[in-house]
Amino acid sequence: MPAHRVAATVEPADLGSYQQAARLMLLHGVVNETYPRAKALALVLQWGDELAKDFRDLFGYSLQTSARHARLLRRLDTFDASQAFLTVKSKKPFDRRRLAYLCLILACLHRSRVEINLADLVKLLAPSANTIEHLGFDATAPGHKDAVVDVVDWLVDRGALRISDGSMEDWARDPDRGDALFDIDHDTCAALFRPNKPLQHLVSAAGLLDTPTISTGRDPRRRLAAQRARRLLIEYPVVYFGDTDTETAIALRQPTLAEDIERLTGLPIERRAEGIMLVDTTGHFTDKRFPGRGGAVNRTAGLMLAKIADLREDPDRASSLQYLLPADPGGEHADLLSRIDMALPQAGTLEALAYDPHADTGQQADEADPDATEHEGQTGLPFVEHGTLEQMITELYEEFGPSSFTNKWQADPGGLLAEAIALLADLRLVHIVPGGVLVRPAAGRYRNITAVLPRPALDGQFALDFPTEETSR
């Protein structure tokens, strides 16, 4: 019996390299000769077999490797509204137009041979886009060409296309003169789009999720709960026991769970009374860094946490804080799912082959143990009203000076606040509710930022407004 379940055959000296490969795969999902960087594929292929085994055993994910690419196929337990495809240059999430274009362009590429130019691609794209209501493609309409450029950029970044001549900027400026020629990497194109079920067979997006085969036995249920726990821990920033059902919470508290994940990723696990998290000490094992590079949003999010901590620790004001119970995460997920299903194009669905998850879940609810789905007792979270948040951001602008929040946000504290709160919500540090936010426990990790904030001087002047005071400290 080997000492470790994870990376059982990996020598201690190679563990670093193994963990690096594991992190690469979990972070990017697709790795090929150029994406995310030149040597990445070689690293992953070196550990291909071990990684495939560990991903399968720990998470039920499958890792597929060929000489040209590696692809991690996840099995999702829930939809995640905070995941988004980002544009390569400005790192903004794709809007619906870009998402639809991405699908259509991939479909066009699929039918092409080894090369395609942008003009032809658009010629193929336009009719299929025009068949979709409210989408369409019109080179003269504002935003349509930019959307194509962003999508193609994304594909080029992922190595699905390689630009061999011309440039997209020329095309965007003047489609009659400028053009760009691309080599198509069909392997990567195929690897990018890997739905786990044929989409036309779905009558609800829930079919895309991993629904375990129904089993009433205690052992299989426990095994599934352990798998779910590991997936939660590896995918999400913080896992609160209160958000999960009892079995998963028990699995999350197992010491072997942390041991396995720590050995796989090489990153430490932090346990607290409210939950458990994997701490990213590399600064790269995440798609949203926090506290990360000094972007205005990131920084404001941190400062807001500090302000909130101040509020919570101030004996005068803390007593006035309301403590509310957060909404049931299951209910929120159901809401997201229903929003997704609202748009399901009925025309394309093959009803005969369709898979109906509701039939299954109904059955499951009947047969499952009554205590299996019971949630851990949720505790009240401090509620910060929207007005208080606005007051906080105004204070921050006064203390630091608007110019320190970059040109973009200088005159828009409200917008910056919204972005910062959205970031914190994505990071599971706050919970957005109507009228304000609920502060989640892990926000307490970052209350030290308070110490670095300047204290308002008694005379009403703020420390950082005067450089002389800064030097006198």
Partner 1 sequence: MFQRDDSGVSESFDLDSLTVGDRLRLFNFTQRDDHVAYLWVLRAMNVLRAVHQLQVHPDDVASALNELAAAHDEVPSAGDLRLRAMLDNLSADNEQVLYRVEDPLRCGNLAAYRNRQSVYQFTEIGYRVYCAVEEVIGSRVQDANLSRLVFADILADFKALAAANREGDRDEVYRKLARLDSVLEDITQRAARFYLTLNDVARTTDISPETFLRYKHALLAHMSEFTAELERYAPRLAEAVYEVEDSGVETLLERAAAVDERPMMRPAARREDWRRRWMGLRQWFLAEGSAETKAAQLQGATRTAISGVIALLRQVTESRRGGVSRTTQLRHLAAWAAGAPDEQAANALVSAAFDLRSVRHLSGAHDDGDQISPRSTWWDAPGVEVSISLFRHGKRPAPGGPQPVRASRGAHARLREQQLADRAADREAATDLLDHGPHDRVLNAAETRAVLKLLTRALQARTIVAGRLRSGTGSSDVLTLRLVPSERGSQLRTETGTLHLPGFTLEIKPHGAMRRRRTETS
Residues 278-307 that bind partner 1 (CB under 8 A): 278-283, 285-294, 296, 299, 302-303, 306
Q: How far is the CB of 321 from partner 1 (least distance, A)?
A: 12
The reply on whether position 234 binds partner 1 by CB under 8 A is yes
- Give the chain's length: 473
Of the candidate spans 38-46, 219-227, 343-351, 369-377, the one that interacts with partner 1 by CB under 8 A turns out to be 343-351
d(CA 283, CA 281): 6
Q: b vs e for 260-288, b when ≥16 Cβ sit within 10 Å of the residue's Cβ?
A: bbebbbbbebeeeebbbbbebeeeebeee
Q: Which is nearer to partner 1, 204 or 246 (CB)?
A: 204
Site for partner 1 in 75-114 (CB under 8 A): 76, 79-85, 93-97, 99-104, 106-107, 110-111, 113
Q: Scan residues 12-41 and list those touching partner 1 (CB under 8 A).
A: 26-30
Which strand (E) or helix (H) includes residue 360? helix 357-367
Residue number, 145 or 231, with CB nearest to partner 1: 231
Contact between 249 and partner 1 per CB under 8 A:
no
Is residue 340 at the binding interface for partner 1, with CB under 8 A as the rule?
yes
Q: How far is the CB of 86 from partner 1 (least distance, A)?
A: 10
Q: Tell me if residue 137 falls in helix, strand or coil.
A: coil
Question: Nearer to partner 1 by C-beta: 324 or 344?
Answer: 344
Residues that contact partner 1, how many (by CB under 8 A): 117
Strand partners, 431: 438
Amino acid letter, residue 136: G
235, 245, 356, 465: which one binds partner 1 (CB under 8 A):
235
Minimum CB–partner distance for residue 172 and partner 1 (Å) = 21
DSSP letter at 111 equals: T
Q: Is position 318 an interface residue for partner 1 (rule: CB under 8 A)?
A: no
Minimum distance from residue 440 beta carbon to partner 1 (Å): 9
Beta-bridge mates of residue 415:
none
Q: Interface residues for partner 1 in 399-438 (CB under 8 A)?
A: 404-406, 426-427, 429
Which residue shows structure tokens 């137009």? 97
Q: Which stretch binds partner 1 (CB under 8 A): 1-9, 12-20, 213-221, 342-350?
A: 342-350
In this structure, are residues 397 and 405 in contact, taking their beta carbons and an 8 Å threshold?
yes
Looking at the Cβ atoms of 280 and 376, the one nearer to partner 1 is 280
Nearer to partner 1, 113 or 177 (CB): 113
Residues 38, 57, 356, 215, Cα dihedral to 10°: 180
Q: How far apart are CA 455 and CA 463, in angstroms?
A: 7
> Does 199 engage in binding with partner 1 (CB under 8 A)?
yes
End-to-end CA distance of the chain: 60
- Near partner 1 by CB under 8 A, which window of 161-169, 315-323, 385-393, 450-458? 450-458
Residue type, 57: D
Member of 163, 172, 267, 372 binding partner 1 (CB under 8 A) = 267
Geometric angle at alpha carbon 312, from 306 and 314, rounded to 5°: 100
Helix (H) or strand (E) holding 323: strand 322-324
E-strand ranges in 75-158 read 115-117
Is 77 within 8 Å of 248 (Cβ atoms)?
no
Short-list 389, 393, 383, CA closest to 439:
383
Write down the least CB distance from residue 265 to partner 1, Å: 9
Q: Which of 67, 342, 359, 458 binds partner 1 (CB under 8 A)?
A: 342
Burial class (CB in 10 A: 0-12, 13-18, 19+), 417: buried
Q: What is the per-residue binding string for partner 1 in 140-179, x denoting contact by CB under 8 A?
A: ----------------------------------------
Tell whether residue 312 is a contact of partner 1 (CB under 8 A).
yes
Let me know: does 331 contact 378? Beta carbons within 8 Å.
no
Among 6, 52, 161, 205, binds partner 1 (CB under 8 A): 205
Of the ranges 218-226, 231-239, 319-327, 357-365, which one interacts with partner 1 (CB under 8 A)? 231-239
Q: Which token pair is 234?
A: 């590896």
CA distance 251 to 229: 6
Least CB distance to partner 1 at residue 173 (A): 26
Residue number with CB closer to partner 1 (118 or 184): 184
Q: Does 192 bind partner 1 (CB under 8 A)?
A: yes
The residue among 70, 74, 50, 77 whose CA lies nearest residue 62 is 74
Residue closer to partner 1 (CB basis): 59 or 171? 59
What φ, ψ does residue 100 adopt, rounded to 5°?
-65, -40
With respect to partner 1, which residue has the nearer C-beta, 166 or 454? 454
Identify which of residues 363 and 448 has a Cβ nearer to partner 1 in the complex: 448
Q: In angstroms, what is the minimal distance from the CB of 379 to partner 1? A: 10
Examine residue 273 and tell whether it contacts partner 1 (CB under 8 A). Answer: yes
Per DSSP bridges, beta strands 161-166 and 30-32 are: unpaired
- Piece in contact with partner 1 (CB under 8 A), picked from 138-146, 163-171, 273-281, 387-395: 273-281
Q: Which helix (H) or strand (E) holds 163?
A: strand 161-166
